[in-house]
Amino acid sequence: MRTARRASNVEVPSFLRQLVKETEKMVTFFFKGGSRETGPGEEDDLDEDDSMPSPYLERPILEKHVSEGGSHLGVNYAVASMQGWRAQMEDAHTCMPQLRGELTDWGYFAVFDGHAGTTVAQYCARNLLDHVMATGGITANEDPEQVKEGIREGFLDIDRHMHKLARQDNWDRSGSTAAAVMISPRHIYFINCGDSRTLLCHNGQVVFYTEDHKPFNPREKERIQNAGGSVTLQRVNGSLAVSRALGDFDFKEVDWRPQTEQLVSPEPEVYELERTPEDEFLILACDGVWDAIGNEELCAFVRSRLQVCDDLREICTQVIDLCLYKGSLDNISIILVCFPGAPQVSQEALQQEAELEQQIDMKVEEILQMMRSREEDPDLLYVIKFLAAEEMPGLPPGGGITSKRDCIISAYQKHVMALRSQEPMDIEGSEEDSN
C-alpha cells in the first residue's frame, strides 16, 4: 500500500539553529532567574554567565527511537522519542497493550518526562505499574472507583518507596511528570501528574484532555503557599515549573504536611470515560510536544496523517519533526494509540497528498527560477518564507506548510542541483555568442 512521504533525516538547516539561539534568550530567565525585559548590556551578561551550563546543545540530536505493537482486541500503538536540542535525554515511557493474567483485555501506556536527571523517570517507567497493581484495585470485574483509587495509591506508594531509595542510595535530585492511560474493555482511565498531557480524539474531535499541573493554577498555588512556599516566575519557589511530580524530593520535606500537601505533590488526577465505537485514537506526549502545538491542531494533524499513512511509527516521527520545526527545544516523546474506529488510508486522501507535494515541488522550482533571474543566491529560508506567505490549499490541518518542510527541502535540493548542472552550459553558450 502506498503511503505518504517518509520523514527524512536531512540535517536541520542553519536558519533553525539561529531560531533556537533567539528562542533560548526568551527562556533564559527560567533557567538563570533573569527577566524577559533586559537593558542594552544585560543580554551579553546572561550569555557570559557560566555558573550554570546551557541546557541546550550546539545542534540537535535528531536520531529517533521508534517501536510499535498491538493487542488481540485491535488496539494498535506506536511510540517515538528524540533527544532534540536538550543536553540530555530525560524522557522515558512504557507501552503494554496487554496486561498479564486475567487482565489480558487491559492495556497500559505512559510517558514520563524527567527533569534534573533521569533516575526517577526511568524507575517509574519500569516499576509504576507494579505499584498500581499491588494495591489490588485493578481487577477483571472493574469497579471504576476502585480502579481510580488503586491508581492513586500506586502513585503515592512508589513515591514513598523512591524517597527511601533516594536517601539510601544517594540518587540524583531528579523528578518526573507522568501521563498515562489504562484501557479496559469498558473504560479509558486518564492519569496525569504534571504537565505532560493525554487527549482522546472521538469522531474527529478532541473530547477529553488532561489538565496540566502548573504552579500558577489557583488550586496548585494555594497548596504551595499553604506548605510555606511561593510561586515566583511561575515556578515553585522560583525553581520548578510543575506543581505535581514524582520524585523532586527536595520539595517534599515539609514534615508537618501530609504527602499530598507538599510543595510538589505526587498525587495524580484520574478520570474515566466509557469507551465507544466512535473513539479513534489517544495521544500521550511530554510537554516538548504541547509547547509547540495545541490539542485541536495535533488531533487534526494526526487524523489527516492516518488517512495517508498506515505506519503509526511514521506518523509519530512526523509529529516530532513538526514540533522541532515549530521551535520545540525540549526532549520530544509521543505515544499514539489507535482504536478500531481510527481513520483508515483512503485513495482520495492519497491522491490529494500527491497533488499537494507536486504543487509544492513546482512552486519551489518557480521560486528558484525567479531568484536566478534576479541573480540572487538560492536561499532555503527565503523559499520557506515565500511558501509560508502563499495561500496553498490542501495543506495538512494542524500542520500547515511547516509539516511539509521535508518535502520543501527535498524539492529545493533537487532543483538547486538541476540549476547548478545548467550553469556550465550557460557559460559555454555565452562564450559562443561572444565569438
Query: How do residues 22-48 score in pLDDT, each as one tens digit?
Result: 444 444 333 333 333 333 343 444 344
Mean pLDDT of the region 251-270: 96
Higher per-residue pLDDT: 429 or 227 = 227
DSSP state of 399: T
Contacts of 392 (CB under 8 A, 6+ apart): 356, 359, 360, 363, 401
Mean pLDDT of the region 246-267: 96
Q: Where are the beta strands (DSSP E) in 14-55?
A: none
How far is Cα of residue 280 from the mean position of the Cα atoms in its chain?
A: 19
Burial class (CB within 10 angstroms; exposed 0-12, middle 13-18, buried 19+) of 207: middle
**347-430 and 59-338 share a CATH fold:** no
When pLDDT is cut at 50, 70 and 90, the band that residue 335 belongs to is: very high
- Confidence (pTM): 0.86
Q: Is 83 left (phi over 0), alpha (psi -120 to 50) or beta?
A: alpha
Q: What is the mean pLDDT of the chain?
A: 88
- What pLDDT was estimated at residue 379? 86
- What pLDDT was estimated at residue 391? 86
| Residue 4 pLDDT exceeds 60 | no
Among 17-21, 188-192, 215-219, 417-421, the minimum mean pLDDT is found in 17-21
- What pLDDT was estimated at residue 39? 38
Among 266-270, 342-346, 378-382, the minimum mean pLDDT is found in 378-382
Higher per-residue pLDDT: 52 or 401 = 401
If you classify domain 347-430 with CATH, what class do you get? mainly alpha
Q: Any idea what the Cα angle at residue 62 is, between residues 61 and 63, rounded to 5°?
A: 100
Q: How many other C-beta atoms can be found within 10 angstroms of the C-beta atom of residue 70?
A: 16
| Residue 351 pLDDT exceeds 70 | yes
CATH homologous superfamily of 59-338: PPM-type phosphatase domain (3.60.40.10)
Domain ranges of the chain: 59-338, 347-430
pLDDT digits (tens, 9 = 90+) for 285-326: 999 999 999 999 999 999 999 999 999 999 999 999 999 999
Are 92 and 114 in contact by the 8 Å Cβ rule? The answer is yes
